[in-house]
Amino acid sequence: MTSRPPVQEAAAAAAAAIPALAGMPPRQRAAQLLAGADAIDERADELIELASAETGIEAGRLRGEVRRSTVQLRLFADEVVSGEHLDVRIDEADEEFALGVRPDLRRMLVPLGPVLNFAASNFPFAFSVAGGDTASALAAGCPVIVKAHPGHPQLSRRTAEVFSAALTAAGAPAGTFQLVEGEREGVELLQHPLIAAAAFTGSVRGGQYLAGLAAARPTPIPFYGELGSLNPVVVTPAALDARRDEIVSGFAASVTGNAGQLCTKPGFLFVPSGSDLGPAVAAAVEAAPEHRLLYPKIAEGYADRRATILGTDGVTVQTEGGVRFDDDQEGWARPTIVSTDLDTLLRESGRLSEEAFGPLSILVEYDDGTRLAELFGTLFEGTLTAGVHVAEGADAPWVAGLVAQMTAHAGRVLFDGWPTGVAVSHAQQHGGPWPSTTTSTTTSVGTAAIQRFLRPVAFQNAPVELLPPALRDDNPWGVVQRRYPAGESRSWGTAAASAD
């Protein structure tokens, strides 16, 4: 598993697993996901120790991340058993159909084929080897090749060993799950004809490059990139009056947790002019201990972004923080908070409105909430999240307009809270308009993430013995089926006409 199989071999092994995976009953696929989850939970101590040493992330957070990954596998196992993700639709044959005879039509989603996942650096479990993209693709019934992130190679290899052995023991065919390492290997696989889809979590630059390669293949394939995000949060005057201390401490915790190396870190906090929140926020973040950054390239990139922001006209430093490099070239960060005003942000958005991947955030004072609401779409093209703190029953008339703008530019709109911390559930949405993702119509967290690796196929007038089990009337897999009876087309339009 950790022997860096040549690209051709990995792709061929993944493709060879397709027939066995396609015919597998959901309960068997689900059992494999559960076995993978159990195996990781059993080895959690060992894996967390490896992860902590390689990434500098503290053990407590890593323990939560392991739990998140294994809970995710269990949730997806249940989803697989329910068959909800197959979106089964059955049109009964209809002699009286409005457009001539309707054949028996049965539609379901089928796996796309071998999926290539580019692991992330900042979530060595939840967005890495056995993380969300892997769980999604396996739940969909696709073989998976993970391209390991070079920031945690030992952990990647060990997780792959543990996870792969558990899948195999639970009956997964050879080639169901593989790990490869190397940037060149990743690019070659992305361009390999046998690869059917790819997922990526990382920088805008990296994602844009890989998305371009996926689109330029002789046979283009879906590429799901989760890229950078600014995650603005707005505080209304009434909310600030009501909960000033709570807002200061919550914001400070959200910016400094994991040294700000989270795709949902709030990059901007908009506060009313004259609220003078800088000193309190500065004091709160200064309490955070110095934190190692993930790996030297991340630290250098962050140091550059920080220098650009601090060197921008009209930006005031509230607490300087900074990055210190040790003898191993590892960077260690202390939080940086700066402040400015809305007009400066507009003028300098070229310098300020790019993700600073580390413990830095920008306070922006605004005079006029209506203007802020109007400018929101100019300031934030696409972001994973946008938040607003409001005060019940006492809020400004512009808040509704702001929320409409946030809805148009974000994947998750949150109230009276902070964007970090993403629940794995049914209604979660982790995605958003470009450049926060390459594909705003999808999510990379939550059960809807499985859909990324499926495509629909309809079977017309198929004899029962040639129908996939999920589409049969006797429904041997017990999946959710939606049926559309003969005769229904005679009344199409009447539900709409009588709705008034």
**Stretch of 155-163, 239-247, 308-316, 461-469 lying at the interface with a second copy (CB under 8 A):** 461-469
- Which of 57, 90, 140, 269: binder of a second copy (CB under 8 A)? 90
CB atoms within 10 A of CB 304: 12
What six digits make up the tokens of 65?
A: 């991340």
Contact call for residue 103 and a second copy (CB under 8 A): yes
Contact call for residue 184 and a second copy (CB under 8 A): no
Q: CB of residue 21 vs a second copy: minimum separation in angstroms?
A: 12
Closest to a second copy by CB, 225 vs 331, is 225
Q: CB of residue 154 vs a second copy: minimum separation in angstroms?
A: 26
- Which of 59, 215, 307, 394: binder of a second copy (CB under 8 A)? 215
Contacts 24+ apart (CB under 8 A), 89-93: 89/481, 89/482, 89/484, 90/471, 90/481, 90/482, 90/483, 90/484, 91/484, 92/483, 92/484, 92/485, 92/486, 93/461, 93/486
Q: CB of residue 198 vs a second copy: minimum separation in angstroms?
A: 13
Contact call for residue 487 and a second copy (CB under 8 A): no
Q: CB of residue 303 vs a second copy: minimum separation in angstroms?
A: 27
Q: Is 226 a catalytic residue?
A: yes
Residue with tokens 């392991």: 66
- Which of 1, 16, 187, 404: binder of a second copy (CB under 8 A)? 404
Q: From the centroid of its chain, how far is CA 177? A: 20
Contact call for residue 289 and a second copy (CB under 8 A): no
Report how far residue 183's alpha carbon sits from residue 359's, in angstroms, rounded to the nearest whole number. 27
Report how far residue 436's alpha carbon sits from residue 255's, in angstroms, rounded to the nearest whole number. 18
Q: Is 142 a catalytic residue?
A: no
Total chain residues near a second copy (CB under 8 A) = 107
Report how far residue 259's alpha carbon sits from residue 293's, in angstroms, rounded to the nearest whole number. 7
Closest to a second copy by CB, 289 vs 427, is 427
- 3-state secondary structure (DSSP) of residue 343: helix
Report how far residue 185's alpha carbon sits from residue 119's, in angstroms, rounded to the nearest whole number. 13
Greatest extent of the chain over all pairs of C-alpha atoms, in Å: 79
Residue with tokens 């040294």: 259
- Which of 289, 311, 313, 466: binder of a second copy (CB under 8 A)? 466
- Which of 325, 332, 398, 434: binder of a second copy (CB under 8 A)? 434
Contact call for residue 354 and a second copy (CB under 8 A): no
Contact call for residue 381 and a second copy (CB under 8 A): yes
Contact call for residue 327 and a second copy (CB under 8 A): no
- Which of 203, 264, 438, 444: binder of a second copy (CB under 8 A)? 438
Contact call for residue 499 and a second copy (CB under 8 A): yes
Nearest residue to 303 via CA among 288, 324, 289, 317:
324
Site for a second copy in 144-183 (CB under 8 A): none
Residue with tokens 């989760």: 226
Q: Looking at 226, 300, 354, 355, which residue is catalytic?
A: 226
- Which of 91, 185, 226, 355: binder of a second copy (CB under 8 A)? 91
Q: Looking at 79, 263, 355, 365, which residue is catalytic?
A: 263
Q: CB of residue 73 vs a second copy: minimum separation in angstroms?
A: 8
Nearest residue to 309 via CA among 270, 276, 277, 268:
268
- Which of 63, 67, 292, 351: binder of a second copy (CB under 8 A)? 67
- Which of 2, 154, 475, 489: binder of a second copy (CB under 8 A)? 489
Q: Which helix (H) or strand (E) holds 184?
A: helix 183-190
Alpha carbons within 13 angstroms on the beta-carbon side of residue 101 total 6
CB 76 within 8 A of CB 107: no
Site for a second copy in 3-32 (CB under 8 A): 18-19, 22, 26-27, 30-31
Q: CB of residue 145 vs a second copy: minimum separation in angstroms?
A: 19
- Please give the positions annotated as active site: 226, 263
